[in-house]
Amino acid sequence: MTLPLETIPSPTAAARRIGDWVAGLRRSDIPEPAAAVALDCIVDTLGVALAGTGEAAARLAADEAREIYAAGASRLLLGGRLCAEGAAFANVAAAHALDFDDNSYAGFVHGSAVVVPTALAMVEAAGGRGSDLLTAVTAGAEAQYALAEAVGNEVYHDGWWTTALFGTVGATAASAKALGLDGRATADAIAFALCGTGGLRACFGTGAKPLLAAQAAANGVRAARLAVRGLTVPHGVVEDPRGFARLVAADRFDPAAVEALGRRWRLLDPGIDTKLYPVCLSAHAAIDAVRDLIAERELAPCDIRAIHCRVPPVVAANLTYGQPATAGEARFSLPFAVACAMLYGTLALEHLEDAALADPVLRHAMGRVSMTADPDWNADPGRARTAPEGAEVSVETITGERLVRFCASARGTVARPLSAAEHAAKFRTCAARAVGSGEAQRLHRKLRRIEAETDLSGLFDPVYHVDCS
């Protein structure tokens, strides 16, 4: 239940509650099922980040970081070492550049893309171990998801881009954990980060999206470092009448979500959705439905006259490009995603390359795909809960047959998780784009045993060289 701000009974400000929990978290406190999910997040995120280093936004971020940040102990995925803030800024941009990173329905947040590279940069700078990295990632993930859940998903529907909004909190919490801050200092850092956080969904389909995630990471690192230097901030910035809940969340705030830190693990509930396709998750259910119908009925592309997708409003609001002109726009285009499933049987990174996007066969196939937003989709609470980004797909064949398939949850979501083999294959495919297949396999084995690593400074050795030309 969400209470009006004036009647909130919690005696402890949200920032302080989060700060105390983060400061007190130890590796031994993390249940092994949650630790296993955190490890999956680390591996998957670093894989997609390596693939993302080839994207323009990642190169722009790395170039900017090299110019404005000091040298340091933290690895840039595009080569070299910088201070932790610079490395976090550049590497987070790479992690989100392809929109292939995981996300959670606790706030509609791409949590790992911000938290994992930030935690790695900060733990490297602090001289920490692999177990410290896993603990910092868990702290950052749980902190951001708890606050996101406390104010509710309406923040996302209102137009805020929650990855930039709450990612700052996750980056701050992970940084504070890596630095070993106490509860008060961690709360100061989180409160400061919240006072300056933000992000708009208007950036979708452009290079601004990964750069806003990068900015959230840098802001989180800076907030933690300022707290080390003695910065103090009122801890009630969430509950204040001029504060976060009122201004960003229209007075929505449930303190119980924050109070549950350490008792309920968002890494497990609602859990983490790992993407099988390198586009916005809103397109995935439709992709799966089309793939399944084509496979079951053994349809060829020439057998299909049209495909129509009925989707919830949030899907239509995210997938706004009918005829995408760039890879960024294609990641937010249902006609593109469904056309790929129709023509190629899947959607992979190579389908987002310029030559593939310009293929007249693909462009023609996009024209056969249509989408309708169902305003009554969420009227059924059960469907709203189990199919928040589902799709009902109707395939019309050239013989006049109409085939219908409803997909509530896509492959890779919590309801239909990827197997260990699928996780590994995704990592190897992504990482190989940067370091080659042999090194990708070696790095995967190393990352799966990250807690055995006593020195993270050589984590990627001898993997690197990434082409920086």
Reported as a single tens digit per residue, the pLDDT across 254-311 is 999 999 999 999 999 999 999 999 999 999 999 999 999 999 999 999 999 999 999 9
Contacts of 263 (CB under 8 A, 6+ apart): none
SS3 of residue 373 by DSSP: strand
> Strands, DSSP E only, in 60-185?
74-75, 81-82
Alpha carbons 261 and 188: distance in angstroms, whole number: 18
pTM of the model: 0.95
Distance, CA of 130 to CA of 459 (rounded, Å): 10
* pLDDT at 380 (0 to 100): 87
Q: What is the mean pLDDT of residues 49-53?
A: 98
Interatomic CA distance for residues 89 and 374, integer angstroms: 38
Neighbours of 448 (CB within 10 A): 17
Mean pLDDT of 53-75: 97
Domains of the chain: 5-271 (1.10.4100.10), 281-407 (3.30.1330.120)
Query: How far apart, in whole angstroms, are the C-alpha atoms of residue 385 and residue 408?
Result: 10
* Cβ 144 vs Cβ 170: under 8 Å: yes
**Dist CA 138 CA 303 (whole Å):** 48
Mean pLDDT of the chain: 95
Distance CA 19, CA 401 (A): 59
pLDDT band (50, 70, 90) for residue 461: confident
Q: For residues 11-19, give the mean pLDDT.
A: 92
Examine the pLDDT at 18 and tell me if it is beyond 60: yes
Omega prior to 270 cis, within 30 of 0 = yes
pLDDT confidence of residue 463 = 52
**Mean pLDDT for the stretch of residues 362-374:** 97
Pick from 166, 164, 143, 139: which is nearest to 245 by CA? 166
Which residue's structure tokens are 């079951």? 296
Contacts of 235 (CB under 8 A, 6+ apart): 13, 15, 16, 19, 187, 188, 191
Q: What is the pLDDT of residue 245?
A: 96
Report pLDDT for 447: 97
Measuring CA to CA, how many Å separate 15 from each of 74, 161, 287? 28, 21, 40
Q: Tell me how far apart the alpha carbons of residues 437 and 452 are, in angstroms, rounded to a whole number.
A: 23
% of the chain exceeding 90 in pLDDT: 93
pLDDT confidence bin for 466, thresholds 50/70/90: low
**Local confidence band at 381 (pLDDT 50, 70, 90 cut-offs):** confident
Give me 250's structure tokens: 């229209």
Residue 437 burial (CB count, 10 A): 12
pLDDT for position 271: 97
What's residue 382's pLDDT? 86
- Please tell me the predicted confidence (pLDDT) of residue 340: 98
* pLDDT higher than 70, residue 4: no
Q: Which helix (H) or strand (E) holds 369?
A: strand 369-373
Tell me which of 6-20, 210-224, 325-339 is least confident: 6-20
pLDDT, tens only, 116-166: 999 999 999 999 999 999 999 999 999 999 999 999 999 999 999 999 999
Of 462 and 374, the one with more pLDDT: 374
For 417-434, what is each residue's pLDDT tens digit?
A: 999 999 999 999 999 999
What pLDDT sits at residue 462?
Answer: 64
